[in-house]
Structure 1
Amino acid sequence: MMSNTLSNDETGAQADAAAVRKAKRFILLVAVISALGGALFGYDTGVISGALLFMTPHFGLTPFLEGLVTSSLLLGAAAGALLGGRIADRAGRRPMLIGAAVVFVVGTLGSALTPDIPILVISRVVLGLAVGAASVVVPLYISEMAPAQVRGRLVTFNELMIVTGQLVAYIVNALLAEAGAWRWMIGLATIPAVLLGVGMLFLPDSPRWYAGKRRFDEARGVLHRARSHDEAEQELAQITAVNDHEPGTSGWRELRSRWLRRVFFIGIGLAVVQQITGVNTIIYFAPTLLTRTGLGEVASIVATISIGAISVLAAFVGLLLMDRVGRRPLLITGQAGVTVCLVLLGLAFLLPGGASWVSYLTLGLMVIYMAFQQSSVSTVTWLMITELFPLKIRGFAMGVAILVLWLTNFLVALVFPPMVAAIGGSATFWVFAAMGIGSLMFSVRFVPETKGRSLEELETDMRQRYA
């Protein structure tokens, strides 16, 4: 009898261990497939840095038109973020990502095959719609699928895929630079877009979206695929309790609640903080800036690969640290480092151009800047925007926050080339440094810690804290 009992216990333990391994594989598959949207986001924002050098003489672009071509994607992304969040709340996270994949293909082909500037700008706006929608829905989907103890790492994996997409774009730019094949640089993004659309066909929607629609059996089914039995039932009970406490999904009218206004304000502030120090001016215009220091066009494009490589490495470091040291200390440290780098970049642009050491000093400061930005500021921002908002307004609020993020990105990218032409690189980077000081003050004063708790626990805590 004793032997049979031990045998049954061992069999049960083995079955539980097998279920846990299966759940981990499922969550990893969810993260990998959905984060293809992040890779597309990164590729489409990074590829313009190299393509722009060849598009400028091809179309006769002025500094204003350079800014317009670059920033048109960002304007589309702002609209896509708002629409993507609302549609994801109504129709689901999964259908929204499938739709975004289709729009990625359409916008990419339009941009790559464009015969003139108006069609190029329109196509990049369409492409931006997909980028914006993916920037909201991918981290939202992953955060709602992931267990609390690894949520930081899995959502940050999307940020890793974003910078990996940028690195791939820089490498593709370098490989095709000698031929000036900017159409191929842009058009290759159709490959991951197709993979995203096909992959999402085989995944379910998030359990929290199902629960928000009162489809609790489907929510339970997804949780049992992604958790152990006990964890799934416990988490479902938390989700159900929150839905029973505040049922329904809404929008602006919910901001009449004081605690929701406070949380909404913090989320919007984080979105501005992530962009206002000019991170994407480095991503979009690094080759252009390096040519101003005397480096050749092809050499500038090849040198930009180092920015992409350090971004990937830094995002991986951020992924490892996120669930260990916490979001808030990582954010504050990164903002301080970014601000110092901006001051030094301003000084570098005072040096006489033409000497190779000036070019490589400028490149080195850009690399250090990106190391601070991607290991902390960007990773924390994208993660915390998925964690702060309660379920009933999560898609809507994330959409608005990322709308603000993309609009800030758009304005910075639009004014950057004329600003550098008007006041010079030094003054431009010192303006960004001043913004960095303001961002640091905001984070110290307002940003809470969100590490290690379920989304429902965070919602309960913030309701009590800001009531």
Structure 2
Amino acid sequence: MAPLKWGLPCELSSISQLRQHRGPPIVSVRNMPSGQPRKLGITPYLVFLVLIATLGPFQFGYHLAELNAPQAVITCEKKRISTNAGTNALQHLPQCISMNSSQFGLVSSIYTLGGFIGSLLAGPFSSKSGRRLALRAASLFLIAGPLAESLAPGIPLLALGRLLSGVGSGAVVVVGPIYISEVAPLHSRGLFGVCTQVMVNVGILVSQVLGYFWSHDSMWRLILAAASIVAVLGLAGLFMVPESPIWLVKNHQRGQARHVLKRIRGSDADIDAEIETWSNSITAPISSEEESLLPSSNDENQTSKQESITMLQAVQDPYYRPAIVAVVACMLAQQFTGINSLIMYSVSLLQSILPTGAALLTIMTSVINLVATVVCMPLPDRIGRRTCLLLSISGIGCSSVLLALGFALNQKILSAMACLLFVASFALGLGPVPFILPSELAGPEAVGATQSWGQAINWMATFVVAQFFPMVNDALGGQGKVYWIFAAIAAISGLVIYRVLPETKGKSSVDEVWGRMDRRQD
């Protein structure tokens, strides 16, 4: 799956979590009351908390790509994939596990099935038991999964390990971004939200680098086991982080929330304005004792929020249905244009024309993916969401054509450049933009349901690509012919998105986005 983008509070959330979560609105520094200090509130302790929280997304990206480089070695096709491989330090374990393309596809795709399960379970669990406990529980899966993978003598245990790793990864990419958004200063959430996607790409890059050096003999097992070390470090770090202060407020622990927030912002920080924002956006009842801990607020700020609607209610209501259709179209385009064919299978795919350089090229594509994600971050706000998506899809479609031609003509340079252009085009829009659209296309009462529809489709599409790409590629005789299909899907996706997705840049309300009257005036 293309990983999580922008660190929004509703990202990759389960159905229950998205309906229940109410993060405080983002407040511009310009609109803060006069006399309030305008400190960024970025302390070393906050940076530490963000680092620990993003170790989960790091592992999500790592597991997504961990089987890419060593695929031929794991499946007994080769003993090594590069001349830079060292000696075999794991001679007591089976050197490989014999698998055909469909079996390997199952082992790869079962990770996304686990991710889907984990994302559904993490939401209600974190709402009831807290973000910190949810992250700790996910860490146990992220420790057990890689250990099972690395010690697997055959397909069943390897698949089980991948499933456990998927459950843990699916959970952390739901809870991690929410935790970050709830501890970061209001005006710096965009900055820290980016850390989630950056760490996903760093995880992909690290797994590709280790795969380049350890994809030989039984050493591929170390690639799989390395993730458990990161998970252990993350679990240790989670015993040094506090619970989310917003979760504490929601659960009537406002005194503890003030103490935690003071520790995060710094002893000299004025936190009253931020807590007042929380009190205005959280509708949980306040006891008289808890109310004394909060600054006073105007009566008009105490209006109750509109009730959230369910996924079924949203899709049945013609008022909300266009937003769901637009988000689902973008999510399908994100996966079915083929990004995970490069993230998960590029080494085996490119071996035919780059027998010695496929693994190195995969590292280069991971670097481009990381750099392009950071460089392209401001573009949706500057040129528009739909423009970014259409440019991104156009670039991916052209890259797919060039990649198919590169294989057909056995042009190594053309194929390599096509791969780099593919991931750069993905980072331009199709990677980040689909995850920020639900909050701009649907009202607050329907954003959870809209995001849930999009996320469910995203996971299912990821599973389909991961499971069937090797089989379709083999059925077409290899040689990159499958990229003609991806090029066609890109063309169709561009036309659909052009028709169903309005531009949201610069629009002040959902009704303005869709060019209609406020529903409350109907």
TM-score, reference length from structure 1: 0.82
Looking at structure 1, the residues matched to 59 and 103 of structure 2 have their Cα atoms a distance apart, in angstroms, of: 24
- CA deviations on 1:398-445 (whole Å, 9 max, x unpaired) are 455333212211111211111111124444112112222233234334
What are the residue-to-residue correspondences of 1:315-354 with 2, within 5 Å?
315-352=373-410
Q: What letter matches 2:361 in structure 1?
A: A
The answer as to whether partners of 2:97 and 2:153 remain within 8 angstroms in 1 is: no
Query: For residue 41 of structure 2, what is the aligned residue in structure 1?
Result: 22
In structure 2, stretches of 5+ residues that fail to align are 1-33, 77-95, 283-300
Q: CA deviation at 1:27?
A: 4.9
Larger displacement relative to structure 2 (103-112 or 375-384): 375-384
Query: For residue 436 of structure 1, what is the aligned residue in structure 2?
Result: 490
Q: What letter matches 2:349 in structure 1?
A: L
Change (3 A) 1:220 1:327: farther
Is 1:34 aligned with 2:87?
Answer: no
Looking at structure 2, the residues matched to 207 and 459 of structure 1 have their Cα atoms a distance apart, in angstroms, of: 29
The answer as to whether partners of 1:153 and 1:319 remain within 8 angstroms in 2 is: no
Change (3 A) 1:113 1:395: farther
CA root-mean-square deviation: 3.6
Larger displacement relative to structure 2 (201-210 or 43-52): 201-210
The match for 1:380 among 427, 430, 433 is: 433
Q: What letter matches 2:67 in structure 1?
A: I
Looking at structure 2, the residues matched to 222 and 267 of structure 1 have their Cα atoms a distance apart, in angstroms, of: 36
Query: For residue 173 of structure 2, what is the aligned residue in structure 1?
Result: 135
Looking at structure 1, the residues matched to 505 and 177 of structure 2 have their Cα atoms a distance apart, in angstroms, of: 16
Looking at structure 2, the residues matched to 70 and 202 of structure 1 have their Cα atoms a distance apart, in angstroms, of: 34
Looking at structure 1, the residues matched to 125 and 324 of structure 2 have their Cα atoms a distance apart, in angstroms, of: 19
**For 2:99, what is the secondary structure of its paired residue?**
coil
Looking at structure 2, the residues matched to 123 and 139 of structure 1 have their Cα atoms a distance apart, in angstroms, of: 24
Q: CA deviation at 1:178?
A: 4.7
Query: For residue 65 of structure 2, what is the aligned residue in structure 1?
Result: 46
What are the residue-to-residue correspondences of 1:137-286 with 2, within 5 Å?
137-146=175-184, 149-178=187-216, 181-206=219-244, 209-210=247-248, 213=251, 225=264, 229=271, 231-233=273-275, 235-236=277-278, 238-240=280-282, 244-246=304-306, 252=312, 259-286=319-346
Query: For residue 368 of structure 2, what is the aligned residue in structure 1?
Result: 310
Q: What letter matches 1:444 in structure 2?
A: Y
Query: For residue 10 of structure 1, what is the aligned residue in structure 2?
Result: none
Looking at structure 2, the residues matched to 390 and 242 of structure 1 have their Cα atoms a distance apart, in angstroms, of: 19
Is 1:405 aligned with 2:462?
Answer: no
Q: What letter matches 2:157 in structure 1?
A: I
What are the residue-to-residue correspondences of 1:286-301 with 2, within 5 Å?
286-296=346-356, 299-301=357-359
The answer as to whether partners of 1:258 and 1:466 remain within 8 angstroms in 2 is: no
Q: CA deviation at 1:34?
A: 1.4
**For 1:293, what is the secondary structure of its paired residue?**
coil
Change (3 A) 1:184 1:206: same
The match for 1:420 among 455, 467, 473 is: 473
Identity %: 27
Change (3 A) 1:282 1:87: same
**For 1:292, what is the secondary structure of its paired residue?**
coil
Change (3 A) 1:132 1:266: farther
The answer as to whether partners of 1:112 and 1:187 remain within 8 angstroms in 2 is: yes
- CA deviations on 1:363-394 (whole Å, 9 max, x unpaired) are 22111100111243212234446776777777
Query: For residue 3 of structure 1, what is the aligned residue in structure 2?
Result: none
Q: What letter matches 1:365 in structure 2?
A: A
Q: CA deviation at 1:184?
A: 0.1
The answer as to whether partners of 1:277 and 1:436 remain within 8 angstroms in 2 is: yes
The match for 1:111 among 149, 154, 174 is: 149
Looking at structure 1, the residues matched to 270 and 509 of structure 2 have their Cα atoms a distance apart, in angstroms, of: 22
Larger displacement relative to structure 2 (276-285 or 429-438): 429-438
Higher helix share: 1
Q: What letter matches 1:379 in structure 2?
A: P
Looking at structure 2, the residues matched to 86 and 258 of structure 1 have their Cα atoms a distance apart, in angstroms, of: 28
Query: For residue 4 of structure 1, what is the aligned residue in structure 2?
Result: none
Q: What letter matches 2:397 in structure 1?
A: T
Q: CA deviation at 1:319?
A: 3.1
The answer as to whether partners of 1:207 and 1:222 remain within 8 angstroms in 2 is: yes
